[in-house]
């Protein structure tokens, strides 16, 4: 089992432990600090850059996106996750599909390892077809956030990918839900497929946030998943929280 992290903070502490860190970009295209510039300016030599994987969405001008790939390679980042971004809000995409941007970056930076995206909540056969297509232009993929309450969808997705002969490793998204606060879960539901009722039951029967996260990972492992990224770890103690989760698996 591989456990990777999606967090903007605690990069030095996590990478010192040998944990890979994904650094997200804006999926909706709102103005924000350039995440690659932030890494180059502030990470310094305190953490191994080869364990940090930036995200790039196509919700930027195409020239920016292509230059981003060039900069990532020049600064020594070995991999880059290239996503489309939300079509319904914010800045329009510079390309219709993320695979088109990956293809363009691949032409300029053939040694850069590229990752894509898949959604186990969508039609499993369609998602597997996309991953198996020669036009995917990626060596690995991440998935939308899933939970132990989505075990059926995950099993269907894994079976469909196996049936299509998908060889790219998948890294499945797991969210660290800190409570069953209704307002928080309602807000998160605008961006993620949050199983609100199931989580409320989990916390009501005495499970902690660590227990719930570990239960999700154990359930996904039983469904055939081998790799995970954990999103929303506490800013001040990501390493300790991750160790506590892994200790319960």
- Domain span holding position 27: 2-247
Percent of the residues in the chain that have a pLDDT greater than 90, as a whole number? 66
Q: 5 or 176: which carries more pLDDT confidence?
A: 176
Per-residue pLDDT, 21 = 79
Question: Quick one: average pLDDT of 162-175?
Answer: 96
Contacts of residue 37, Cβ cutoff 8 Å, sequence gap at least 6: none
Confidence (pTM): 0.86
CATH code assigned at 201: 3.20.20.220
Q: Give me the sign of the Cα torsion angle 106, 109, 114, 116.
A: negative
Q: Which of 20-29, 115-124, 131-140, 175-184 has the lowest mean pLDDT?
A: 20-29
pLDDT band of residue 156 (cuts 50, 70, 90) is: very high
Contacts of residue 214, Cβ cutoff 8 Å, sequence gap at least 6: 245, 246, 248, 249
Q: Which two tokens stand for residue 3?
A: 């456990």
The partner residues of 55 in beta bridges, in order of sequence, read: 81
- Contact call for residues 25 and 56 (beta carbons, < 8 A): yes
**Taking Cα atoms as reference points, which of 81, 83, 85, 82 lies closest to residue 52?**
81
pLDDT at 202 over 80: yes
Q: Between the CA atoms of 85, 90, 93 and 98, what dihedral angle is there, to the nearest 10 degrees? A: 0
pLDDT band of residue 10 (cuts 50, 70, 90) is: very low
**Taking Cα atoms as reference points, which of 132, 137, 162 lies closest to residue 225?**
162
pLDDT band of residue 145 (cuts 50, 70, 90) is: very high
Instruction: Tell me how far apart the alpha carbons of residues 169 and 140 are, in angstroms, rounded to a whole number.
Output: 5
Q: Give me the sign of the Cα torsion angle 212, 214, 218, 220.
A: positive
pLDDT band of residue 43 (cuts 50, 70, 90) is: low
Q: How many domains does the chain have?
A: 1
pLDDT band of residue 33 (cuts 50, 70, 90) is: low
The partner residues of 118 in beta bridges, in order of sequence, read: 143
Q: 41 or 96: which carries more pLDDT confidence?
A: 96
């Amino acid at each position: 089992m591989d456990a990777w992290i999606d967090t903007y903070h605690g990069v030095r502490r996590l990478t010192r432990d040998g944990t890979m860190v994904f650094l997200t970009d804006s999926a909706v295209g709102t103005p924000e600090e350039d995440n690659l510039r932030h890494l180059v300016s502030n990470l310094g030599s305190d953490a191994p850059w080869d364990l940090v994987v930036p995200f790039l969405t196509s919700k930027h001008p195409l020239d920016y996106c292509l230059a981003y790939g060039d900069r990532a390679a020049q600064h020594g980042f070995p991999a880059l996750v290239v996503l489309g971004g939300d079509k319904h809000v914010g800045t329009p995409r510079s390309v219709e599909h993320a695979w088109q941007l990956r293809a363009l970056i691949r032409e300029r930076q053939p040694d850069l390892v590229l990752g894509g995206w898949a959604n186990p909540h969508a039609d499993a056969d369609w998602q597997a077809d996309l991953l198996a297509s020669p036009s995917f232009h990626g060596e690995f993929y991440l998935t939308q956030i899933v939970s132990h309450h989505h075990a059926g969808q995950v099993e269907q997705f894994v079976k469909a990918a196996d049936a299509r002969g998908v060889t790219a490793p998948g890294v499945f998204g797991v969210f660290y839900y800190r409570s069953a606060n209704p307002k928080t879960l309602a807000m998160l539901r605008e961006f993620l497929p949050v199983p609100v009722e199931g989580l409320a039951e989990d916390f009501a029967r005495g499970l902690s946030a660590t227990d719930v996260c570990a239960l999700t990972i154990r359930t996904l492992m039983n469904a055939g998943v081998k790799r995970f990224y954990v999103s929303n770890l506490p800013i001040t103690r990501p390493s300790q929280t991750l160790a506590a989760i892994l200790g319960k698996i």
